[in-house]
Amino acid sequence: MNKTNFMAYMATQISGFREEQRMGTAHVYQSTFNRVNDFVGKVPFEFKEVTPLWLKAFQNYLLSRQLHWNTISTYMRMLRAVYYRAVDEGHAPYQPRLFKCVYTGTKVTVKRALDEEILRKFKKPITENRKLERARMLFILLFMLRGIPFVDIAFMRRCDLQGNTITYRRRKTGTWLTVHVEPEAMTLIQQLKNSDNNSPYLFPLIRHPGCNEYRQYQNALRNFNYLLGHLIKITGAPVRLSSYSARHSWATIANYRNYQQELISNAMGHSSVKVTETYFKRHTDEKINEMNRKIISHTFVSE
């Protein structure tokens, strides 16, 4: 392999992620690889050809394909990660501020966190439908385990739970986390845990261990989000609900209760506080709007 060839180097990175069973990461990198391949016409190119002008042209290409800014940012951040890894390994020349002129931020477009009163509705049974009830209990469990991502619950092993402590490695970042399981959460675990004693997994979300597990995880996530959509309709709440709503809700409530953002970031296993801050932007805007409304009412309406 020519290690100064951008696409060849990126392909080896993707293979490495798959060998490490980091299938979600491999999927995002593969999507980025495919977009770049389409842009360059499948023609090999060197790291030295990746310039600010090239990146700007690639961004414009993605915009012309009607991609959202968050999707474009994801591709750019994947390219940036590949580039810096290649620089560290001596395969690419270092170019200061290479990605300065392209978008690598995160734009919060949809409110994912639930208000506390909606969350309280989920604490008790909502329906007699068994599948919907298990989805409700699993959603609350995600919240009670500090907003644990669905992927980490799906791949959680029996041995990860020792007494009232869960120790696991985040699939996305590789960060090790230790979570104290509160009594309410332990009750849910006992109700939801895998009845197949031969399975290494704590929950029955990967039903056939060793057989295309990532595809099974994707199907389980899709089904879970489908059931959550039905649950939220039953409550009558005018919001969208997904597996990530538990994570955003936990972080947002912690922020509202004035816990330090660094502490929240550590609790969630984020790679940096900046990642945590993106969870709060939408809700900060809402608080600002509420404040402005009250100031206007106090000043003009109460005359």
Q: Look at residue 3 and tell me whether its pLDDT is greater than 70.
A: no
| Mean pLDDT, all residues of the chain | 89
What is the pLDDT, as a whole number, of residue 292? Answer: 80
The domain spans of the chain are: 6-88, 116-288
Give Cβ neighbours of residue 239 (< 8 Å, ≥ 6 apart): 111, 114, 118, 232
Q: Would you tell me how many other CB atoms lie within 10 Å of the CB of residue 7? A: 17
Q: Hey, what amino acid is at 42?
A: K
What is the pLDDT, as a whole number, of residue 282? Answer: 63
Q: Would you tell me how many other CB atoms lie within 10 Å of the CB of residue 280? A: 20
- The CB-side HSE value for 173 (13 A sphere, CA atoms) comes to 14
Q: Are 228 and 139 in contact (CB under 8 A)?
A: yes
pTM: 0.73
The span from the first CA to the last CA of the chain, in angstroms, equals 76
Q: Look at residue 215 and tell me whether its pLDDT is greater than 60.
A: yes
Sign of CA dihedral 6, 11, 13, 14: positive
Q: How far, in Å, CA of 205 to CA of 253, rounded? A: 28
Give per-residue pLDDT as tens, 110-166. Answer: 557 788 888 888 989 999 999 999 999 999 999 999 999 999 999 999 999 999 999
Q: How far, in Å, CA of 133 to CA of 125, rounded? A: 7
What is the pLDDT, as a whole number, of residue 281? Answer: 59
Q: Are 33 and 76 in contact (CB under 8 A)?
A: no
Q: Look at residue 104 and tell me whether its pLDDT is greater than 80.
A: yes
What integer is the mean pLDDT of 20-35? 92
Q: How far, in Å, CA of 235 to CA of 115, rounded? A: 13
Q: Would you tell me how many other CB atoms lie within 10 Å of the CB of residue 82? A: 23
What is the pLDDT, as a whole number, of residue 8? Answer: 93
Q: How far, in Å, CA of 301 to CA of 141, rounded? A: 44
Mapped onto helix, strand or coil, the DSSP state of residue 102 is: coil
The structural architecture, per CATH, of the domain 116-288 is Orthogonal Bundle (1.10)
Give per-residue pLDDT as tens, 29-64. Answer: 999 999 999 999 988 889 999 999 999 999 999 999
